[in-house]
């Protein structure tokens, strides 16, 4: 949100002052005096009695070559100020303490109800405990002054508020988020990932949603879940192909409403590097019968929020196998609900693909039903234990979850653990 602040009324730079009427020294009136007339006034005996005030004008004082003309309190208030139909109080950030009573300011914030409205500050109240400045204001119409002075017989049109769609969510702005190519090291293997860094500058956003896709080929976006608005970093592992350009979109969510996406400039994914073959001596593999090699494992306590009927990846691991049996274990705390009394089925699927994204196959699919009525949610641990024996190579195993209902009230998967152990043998 940006502000343009001026001490401007009616298109002229003016001072709010009080002065004593020449013929009634004890009478004090308030008004406005343009700088164009200030030099004439300073030539008179009232020069030393000018002083700034911080209250809205009550009487307009206009200087003319023939002398001082004072418009009555009633005339000016009825013909000008009472036409202003928009007033209120707006909370602002502490640096806007510079707005003082008598200042005119304009807010520039698309989608905000006061966008483009010129306002006159009536009073300010700063709360140091919260850092909030509350500005009391009334809208300011420049054309009311010529009308009140009889210079224009046509009354100005009252200002109106910009229609606001309550479903509108302010999107992320360029520069809020950046995309870079990076790598993760899993069991000695360096895996290319996409690294998104930044911060959510929209204070009303309840979640930030990331998605990615190959750049320039018209592919569909692949969602990678919804994160907390305090998120400052997102690592996207997914099926990232080395040497391929990718772009990432960032969207904000408030309730069931989503902002327009910010699409970040594409980057080229790095290369996949694997360590030397374990237990090798002069190129020959030496293994001990039925030994178990150190497993690859991952634990993430943070929550991953589901997306209704859309698959959301909740865990993944990359492992380089020598061709022996792999034991995969997964567990997480799930809390999926469809309140009140809504039925749904929660699906979990384990899939395997090569690191380059080839040969994506289903290894296991499980589901649990919540029939509704009093059973409208599933809150439990979700353990998976399975075996797989692919040929030697590097593989990505990942777990996805989704629901058969799109309007879920809770879709939380947290405390996610996943491990892969290889049982190598020489038999």
For the stretch 212-248, pLDDT in tens is 999 988 888 988 878 899 999 998 886 788 899 999 9
Cβ(314)–Cβ(384) under 8 Å? no
CB 179 within 8 A of CB 267: yes
What does the pLDDT read at residue 421?
85
Higher pLDDT, 219 or 60: 219
Residue 274's pLDDT band, with cuts at 50, 70 and 90, is: low
- Among residues 389, 313, 301, 375, the alpha carbon closest in space to that of 349 is found at 313
Average pLDDT, the chain: 75
Q: Which pLDDT value is given to residue 18?
A: 40
> Which residue stretches of 264-370 are H helix?
none
Residue 424 pLDDT: 63
The reported pLDDT for the residue numbered 79 is 45
Q: Tell me, what's the pLDDT at 160?
A: 75
The set of long-range contacts for 119-124, using a CB threshold of 8 Å and a minimum separation of 24, is 120/9, 120/56, 122/56, 122/87, 124/97, 124/99, 124/100
The lowest-confidence range among 33-47, 131-145, 267-281 is 33-47
Is residue 343 within 8 Å of residue 414, measured between CB atoms?
A: no
pLDDT reported for residue 276 = 56
pLDDT band at 253 (very low <50, low <70, confident <90, very high): very high
**pLDDT tens-place string over residues 6-42:** 433 333 223 333 444 455 443 333 333 333 333 333 3
**pLDDT score of 418 more than 80:** yes
Q: Any idea which residue has 């009927």 for tokens?
A: 309
Q: What's the pLDDT tens digit per position in 338-395?
A: 887 788 999 999 999 988 888 888 888 898 888 777 667 888 889 999 998 888 888 9
Cα angle 388-392-394, degrees, rounded to a multiple of 5: 85
| 178 close to 196: Cβ distance less than 8 angstroms | yes
């Amino acid at each position: 949100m940006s502000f343009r602040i001026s001490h401007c009324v009616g298109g002229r730079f003016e001072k709010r002052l009080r002065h004593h009427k020449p013929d009634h020294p004890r009478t004090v009136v308030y008004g406005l005096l343009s700088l164009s007339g200030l030099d004439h006034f300073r030539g008179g005996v009232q020069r030393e009695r000018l002083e700034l005030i911080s209250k809205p004008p009550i009487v307009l004082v206009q200087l003319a070559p023939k002398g001082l003309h004072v418009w009555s309190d009633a005339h000016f208030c009825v013909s000008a100020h009472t036409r202003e139909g928009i007033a209120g109080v707006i909370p602002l950030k502490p640096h806007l303490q510079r707005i003082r009573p008598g200042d005119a300011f304009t807010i520039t914030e698309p989608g905000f109800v006061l966008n483009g409205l010129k306002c006159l500050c009536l009073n300010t109240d700063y709360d140091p405990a919260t850092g909030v400045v509350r500005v009391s204001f009334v809208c300011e119409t420049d054309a009311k002054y010529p009308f009140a002075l009889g210079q224009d017989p046509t009354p100005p049109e009252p200002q109106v508020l910009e229609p606001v769609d309550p479903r509108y969510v302010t999107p992320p702005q360029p520069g809020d988020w950046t995309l870079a190519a990076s790598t993760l090291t899993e069991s000695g293997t360096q895996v290319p990932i996409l690294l998104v860094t930044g911060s959510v500058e929209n204070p009303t956003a309840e979640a930030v949603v990331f998605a990615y896709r190959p750049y320039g080929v018209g592919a569909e976006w692949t969602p990678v879940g919804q994160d907390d608005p305090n998120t400052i970093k997102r690592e996207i592992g997914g099926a990232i192909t080395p040497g391929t350009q990718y772009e990432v979109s960032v969207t904000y969510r408030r309730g069931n409403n989503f902002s327009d996406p910010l699409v970040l400039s594409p980057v080229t994914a790095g290369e996949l590097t694997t360590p030397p073959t374990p237990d090798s001596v002069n190129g020959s593999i030496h293994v001990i019968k039925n030994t178990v090699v150190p497993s690859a494992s991952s634990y993430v306590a943070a929550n991953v929020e589901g997306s209704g009927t859309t698959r959301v990846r909740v865990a993944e691991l990359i492992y380089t196998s020598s061709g022996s049996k792999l034991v995969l274990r997964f567990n997480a705390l799930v809390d999926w609900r469809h309140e009140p009394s809504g039925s749904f089925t929660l699906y979990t699927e384990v899939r395997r693909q090569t690191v380059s994204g080839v040969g994506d196959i289903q290894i296991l699919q499980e589901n649990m039903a919540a029939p509704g009525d009093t059973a409208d949610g599933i809150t439990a641990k979700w353990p998976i234990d399975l075996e797989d024996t692919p040929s030697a190579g590097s593989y990505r195993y990942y777990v996805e979850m989704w629901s058969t209902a799109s309007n879920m009230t809770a879709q939380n998967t947290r405390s996610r653990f996943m491990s892969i152990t290889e049982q190598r043998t020489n038999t």
